[in-house]
Chains A and B, each alone.
With several copies, the nearest count.
Chain A
């Protein structure tokens, strides 16, 4: 099974809906160790994305993802704007003018996205950021593919690993982003960015799972 441009559009719409729905939850997480705006930031960004989406409705995957990326950069602000913006941009650059992608294309796109996040934010794994959810997710996706799994089961394992990665941020001491200012007091709280990354992973799976 391949991922189509239509899937990508549905994925983006689903992320926008999830972010709106989970806006207060994300903001609450950000209140504990940040500045109480992560939900509002992403909601503002993906609401803007939704208004842009019709302009790329019948375009290739690269155009769709790049539009998402530039829109996020231009509307989110904060740390998550440049990070997610760069991630979508880089993924879009990898996909170029394709209208379909294979499981391996997805791996390549996600790896480029993560590299973009790391290049901008300079966070390693274990610093209590979105990287700690996305990294293990990609690892699991690659491992499942190496073990010969098809897209859907591989994606299921990737989402599960993303969730584990997200939950693993709770006991971590933050050393990047705003939560790092808390020192030891950052321990015991789940990272908001890791949580929004997991929500995106879940949205991707849901779109592929749809009949």
Chain B
């Protein structure tokens, strides 16, 4: 296993120490239970926005803590949902009296742990609302299943919702906007290589030299299908078509287009994929009004990418453009 780590047990703790040392102006880290909060929080009268999930997806979520985005993030063990104790402590820490929104990615573990935390928070008299992201079109949706995974939309939602909360929107309004972003967003990912979970010590899956996994999850979960490696143009088509058809997106739509690297993908390839994406969207009469290109929701060192599209209106565009100042995303400040 080739990793810059001291031991599988200490990965999360050591990285948190590094983050705390790197950004004392933006964030503070608490341990046992582990969570990251804004250095300048809690802010009275502001809805606290928190998220969390397994580690290994950095910069999500810890890198998004700061002005105009998250008030706190709860990092679990690698690829493992954090525990309710973390979420409860974070909920209390960011509570400025206006309630707290939990942003939860739709994985059974995340949902159950956040549910327990919300129950505990409510028992302590904090108003807690939750939104569950489930944007991954690679997964068949149905009332009788665990439903779709939360992936790329989560990043965009945290930014947009964070801006609304920063502007002191009340909890119900923040929750409405969160649900709107989730409803208007879709994603799909692919992998060229597997990731290796530190405590597993070997690749989660084996992918022959000439094959790729289409519809892969962000935990190295196998995807929809395994196919021969194709050109960037063809891969962009394979990811974008299911996204466009699912919502569906229509000619005349304005979208926020997000090309995300899975952690082991060089930036040159992400810009190249973005180029293919723009060609496809232009061909369908869809305008890319805003974009984000980079590795923001990752899967350790997995090579591959995901594409996320969110339909924009003036409200969402304005919130996207609002200033943000976090370790991983910053503009306007």
Interface residues of A (CB under 8 A from B): 27, 31, 33-37, 40-41, 44, 73-83, 120-121, 175-178, 180-183, 185
B83 touches A (CB below 8 Å): yes
- 26 CB contacts below 8 A, A to B, read A35-B80, A37-B79, A37-B199, A37-B200, A40-B80, A40-B197, A40-B200, A44-B77, A73-B84, A73-B85, A74-B33, A76-B80, A77-B54, A77-B76, A77-B80, A77-B109, A78-B109, A79-B112, A81-B83, A82-B112, A121-B108, A178-B107, A180-B145, A181-B221, A182-B221, A185-B222
Tell whether A177 pairs with B146 under 8 Å between CB atoms, given A35-B220, A37-B199, A77-B113: yes
Evaluate contact between A27 and B83: CB separation under 8 angstroms.
no
The binding surface of chain A is classed by DSSP as helix
| B108/A175 in contact, CB under 8 A | no
Whether B82 sits at the interface, judged by CB under 8 Å, is: yes
Asked, given contacts A79-B81, A177-B146, A180-B145, whether A35 binds B204 with beta carbons under 8 Å apart, the answer is yes
In the assembled complex, how far is the CB of residue B191 from the closest CB belonging to chain A, in whole angstroms?
A: 13
B219 (CB) vs chain A CBs: closest residue: A35
A27 contacts B205, C-beta separation under 8 Å: no
Residues from chain B with Cβ under 8 Å of A79 in the complex: 81, 107-109, 112
Q: Kindly report which residue of chain B lies nearest to residue A72, judged by CB atoms.
A: B83
Interface residues of B in 212-231 (CB under 8 A from A): 217, 219-222, 224
Q: Which residue of A lies closest to B113 (CB)?
A: A82
Distance of A73 Cα from B117 Cα, bound (Å): 11
Whether, in the assembled complex, B46 has its beta carbon less than 8 Å from a beta carbon of chain A, the answer is: no
| A77 adjacent to B82 (CB under 8 Å) | yes
CB <8 Å contact, A182 and B200: no
State which residues 105-120 of B face A: CB under 8 Å: 107-109, 112-113, 115-116
Judge whether A27 and B200 touch: CB under 8 Å: yes
State whether A176 and B145 are in contact (beta carbons under 8 Å apart), knowing that A41-B80, A81-B83 are contacts in the complex: yes
Distance between Cα atoms of A76 and B116 in the complex (Å): 13
Given contacts A27-B199, A37-B79, A185-B222, contact A74 B109 (CB under 8 A): no
Chain A residues closer than 8 Å to B84, beta-carbon distance: 73-74, 82
Residue of A nearest to B53 (CB): A77
Interface flag for B19 (CB, 8 Å): no
Tell me whether A34 and B221 are in contact in the complex, defined as CB-CB below 8 angstroms, given that A81-B113, A175-B146 are known contacts: yes
Using CB atoms, name the residue of chain B closest to A38: B80
Which of A73, A75, A175, A183 lies in contact with B116, CB distance below 8 A? A73
Which residue of chain A lies nearest to B199 when distances are taken between CB atoms in the complex? Answer: A40
Does B37 interact with chain A (Cβ within 8 Å)? no
The 3 A-B pairs at the shortest CB distance, nearest first, are namely: A35-B219, A78-B109, A82-B112
Bound-state Cα–Cα, A180 to B138, Å: 12
Report B101 CB to chain A, min CB distance, Å. Answer: 21
Q: Are B144 and A73 in contact (CB under 8 A)?
A: no
Q: Is the beta-carbon distance between A177 and B108 smaller than 8 angstroms?
A: yes
User: What's the Cα separation between A185 and B225 when bound, in Å?
Assistant: 9
B139 is an interface residue with CB less than 8 A from chain A: yes
Task: A35-B217, A36-B219, A76-B83 given; name 10 further pairs at CB < 8 Å.
Answer: A35-B54, A35-B204, A40-B199, A77-B76, A77-B77, A78-B54, A81-B109, A175-B146, A178-B108, A183-B140
In the bound complex, residues from chain B placing their C-beta under 8 Å from that of A121 are: 108, 112
Chain B residues with Cβ below 8 Å from A83 are 112
Q: Are A35 and B108 in contact (CB under 8 A)?
A: no
Bound: A183/B81 CA distance, A: 22
The residues of A that contact B149 with a CB separation of less than 8 Å are 181
B314 to chain A, nearest CB (A): 35
Q: Which residues of B contact A41 (CB under 8 A)?
A: 77, 80
CA distance A36 to B1 in the complex (A): 15
Q: How far is the CB of A37 from chain B (nearest CB, A)?
A: 5
A78 contacts which of B76, B140, B142 (Cβ < 8 Å)? Answer: B76
Are B109's CB and A36's CB within 8 A?
A: no
**Does B297 make an interface contact (CB < 8 A)?**
no
State the Cβ distance, A130 to closest chain B Cβ, in Å.
12
**In the complex, what residues of A have CB within 8 A of residue B78's CB?**
37
CA distance A34 to B79 in the complex (A): 10
| Interface bits B66-91 vs A (CB < 8 Å: 1, else 0) | 00000000001111111111000000
A183 to B76, CA, bound (A): 26
**Shortest distance from the beta carbon of A125 to any chain B beta carbon, whole Å:** 13
C-alpha gap A73/B82 in the complex (Å): 10
Question: Interface code B236-254, partner A: CB below 8 Å = 1, 0 otherwise?
Answer: 0000000000000000000
For A31, list chain B residues within 8 Å (CB): 200, 204-205
Residues of chain B contacted by A178 (CB below 8 angstroms)? 107-109, 146, 217, 219, 221
Q: Are A73 and B199 in contact (CB under 8 A)?
A: no
Measured between beta carbons, the chain A residues less than 8 angstroms from B217 are 35, 178, 181
Given the interface pairs A79-B109, A82-B112, the reply to whether A36 lies near B79 with Cβ below 8 Å is yes
